[in-house]
Structure 1
Amino acid sequence: MPPYPTGSWMPVALSADLPAGTVMPAQSPAGRVALWRGRSGRVSAFADRCPHRGMRLSHGFVRGETLSCIYHGWGYAQAGNCVRIPAHPALTPPETVRVATQHVEDGGGIIWISAGEPTGGPPRFEGLAPVRSMTVEAGIVALEEATGTSTAGGLLDYTNADTSVRLLLAPEGPARTLMHVLIDEDSNPDERITASRAAEALRRAAEHIERGGTGR
């Protein structure tokens, strides 16, 4: 994971990909996280490791406003404190049993996690709506070469067969990028499908370049 400046935000998922009552793995500036949404709709981000036996919390399940580990069922509230140990139902878990949490914001159809203490809110992209996310096994340089353009504010413009999309990029390593596809919020379903296909074409081109192939 490349270093993110303290206070900056990383787009880790699309809101639509995390319905209420679900959990998913994600990559944050601080490492792997369990990203989950309580039944109320609030999103939380935990370090992806249960303090009990180290099981990934992203394999767990949501009960109301708590995330429970799939291994022994220990449950954690949104603040990260343990609230339930099934093997000892009468026990009030000590405050020292906690999961590390990260600052998370959900807005404009995108879920963001901050690097350390945020210095402001995450970016907002007026007039744009997210279509889908995809992982590209290529770095930012390969994506820029494939599009013939450069990133600006984390966004990359791409045109394929008269279809223009904006790509919100989150580097996850020297040769791996999480790419969120954004288009005009007034686009119809057919235009959304076309934009998705254009992004898939770009992914293939960038991965070809990353493997040592030539550009456009």
Structure 2
Amino acid sequence: MQPDTAGSWTPVALSADLPAGTVMPARIPAGTIALWRSESGRPAATANRCPHRGMSLSHGFVRGESLSCIYHGWSYAQAGNCIRIPAHPGLTPPETIRTKTFAIEEVNGVIWVATDEATAKPPALEGLTPLRSMTADASIAAIEAVADTQASVEGLVSPRENADTLCLLVSAQEDGQTLIHVLLKGETSPAARIAASRVAEGLRRKAENLQKKGIAA
């Protein structure tokens, strides 16, 4: 099944994967976006295209509280407005030069981006500790099949044989892949983290094999 998270929030990354002063590509159902965190620690989600020449902003760099395009250095604030054009240092960029932005929330170690008008906050996922993210060449249906359970409305899959130790937070991608965030339940010792990671990798392999056989849609 396709999870229907509150307000159409999509879990795009774990907080640990986005240190201050960095930018990375992330995917929502509509495609790739630029996910970045300012040097003061504020996360932002921006359309992955510079209005100037169309360069991917996820290839850019963070300077202070703005995201700069790697091509000609045009810089954008978290609100999406252009604030600096290096070739014209004395120019105040017009308000018409801006990138599309998306609502973003960071809750308990997970970064969520809203794909439309969010009427509620994303799920808090209390009691769960983020471990790692991975991408599966398989649908959510295939993951549900090997986990022997269905995803909740929040997008959580609790594998039946390991329901006491981990959850998989799943998000469908536009190319048929599934982004999986592995979350721990209870113990978070190094041994528990390694064991949970191995279980998650095993489930991913099984789901991909199932997908290749055409058994799961």
**Residue matched to 2:127:** 127
The answer to whether the 8 Å contact 2:7/2:121 transfers is no
1:202 aligns with 2:170: no
CA gap 1:125/1:32 in 2 versus in 1, 3 angstroms: same
What is the CA distance between 1:157 and its match in structure 2?
A: 1.0
What is the CA distance between 1:175 and its match in structure 2?
A: 2.6
**Residue matched to 1:150:** 150
The answer to whether the 8 Å contact 2:148/2:160 transfers is no
1:62 aligns with 2:58: no
TM-score if structure 2 supplies the norm length? Answer: 0.92
**Residue matched to 1:16:** 16
Gaps of 5+ in 1: none
RMSD: 2.2
CA distance in 1, matches of 2:52, 2:6: 29
Gaps of 5+ in 2: none
Tell me the SS of whatever aligns to 1:7: helix
Matches within 5 A, 1:155-170: 155-158=156-159, 164-170=165-171
Q: Which amino acid aligns with 2:23?
A: V
TM-score if structure 1 supplies the norm length? Answer: 0.92
Deviations along 1:111-170, one digit per CA (max 9) or x if unpaired, are: 001121110100011111110010001001111111111112211112568983210100
Tell me the SS of whatever aligns to 1:54: coil
The answer to whether the 8 Å contact 1:159/1:165 transfers is no
**Residue matched to 2:194:** 193
Tell me the SS of whatever aligns to 1:173: coil
CA distance in 1, matches of 2:202, 2:6: 34
Tell me the SS of whatever aligns to 2:132: strand
CA gap 1:71/1:185 in 2 versus in 1, 3 angstroms: farther
Q: Which amino acid aligns with 2:183?
A: L
Query: Could you list the runs of 4 or more consecutive aligned residues of structure 1 that deviate by over 6 angstroms after TM superposition?
Result: 2-6
**Structure 1 vs Structure 2: percent identity of aligned residues?**
57
Matches within 5 A, 1:23-172: 23-153=23-153, 154-158=155-159, 164-172=165-173
CA gap 1:15/1:143 in 2 versus in 1, 3 angstroms: same
The answer to whether the 8 Å contact 1:150/1:156 transfers is yes
CA distance in 2, matches of 1:201, 1:122: 28
CA gap 1:6/1:187 in 2 versus in 1, 3 angstroms: closer
CA distance in 2, matches of 1:75, 1:30: 24
**Bigger strand fraction:** 1
